[in-house]
Structures are given as structure tokens and as C-alpha cells.
């Protein structure tokens, strides 16, 4: 699935595989840096935890936001 295929009412988040820290991602910044046609799966290796700085095995999550 590409980022442009994700409806606007979905938010993207990341979860650290080491410390389980969770955080929201700015999808507009992702579009600016990688383009709207970037595959979501290709973003996972680029995720880095803001709490423990782990960069391996982190997860990308998508979920509906309240409208």
C-alpha cells in the first residue's frame, strides 16, 4: 500500500521494537521527503525511536482518527 492510497482520516504512528514507545508521524513531512507514492512498507526501516534511538525492527501503524 502506498501513502497516497491511505485515506486522510487515517493517522500514521510508529512503535519501537525495543522499548515499545509509540509516537505519531507527520504524514505531510513524509510526503515532502519521500513523495506520496512511497510504499508504507519501505518506511519501516527508516523509523527511529525518539525515546531510545533504536532504528531496528520498528513498526508502522495506521489507524482511523475521530472525525
Model confidence over 36-58: pLDDT tens digits? Answer: 999 999 999 999 999 999 999 99
The pTM score is: 0.79
The string of DSSP letters for 18-55 reads TT--EEEE-HHHHHHHH-TT-BHHHHGGG---TTT---
Average pLDDT rounded to a whole number, residues 12-28: 95
C-alpha cell of 43? 518506511
Percentage of the residues of the chain whose pLDDT score is greater than 70: 99
Q: How far apart are CA 58 and CA 21, in angstroms?
A: 10
Amino acid at each position: 500500500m502506498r501513502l497516497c492510497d491511505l485515506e486522510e482520516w487515517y493517522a500514521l504512528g510508529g512503535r519501537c521494537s525495543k522499548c515499545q514507545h509509540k509516537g505519531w508521524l507527520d504524514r505531510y513531512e513524509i510526503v515532502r521527503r519521500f513523495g506520496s507514492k512511497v510504499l508504507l512498507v519501505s518506511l519501516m526501516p527508516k523509523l527511529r525511536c525518539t525515546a531510545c534511538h533504536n532504528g531496528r525492527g520498528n513498526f508502522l501503524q495506521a489507524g482511523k482518527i475521530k472525525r
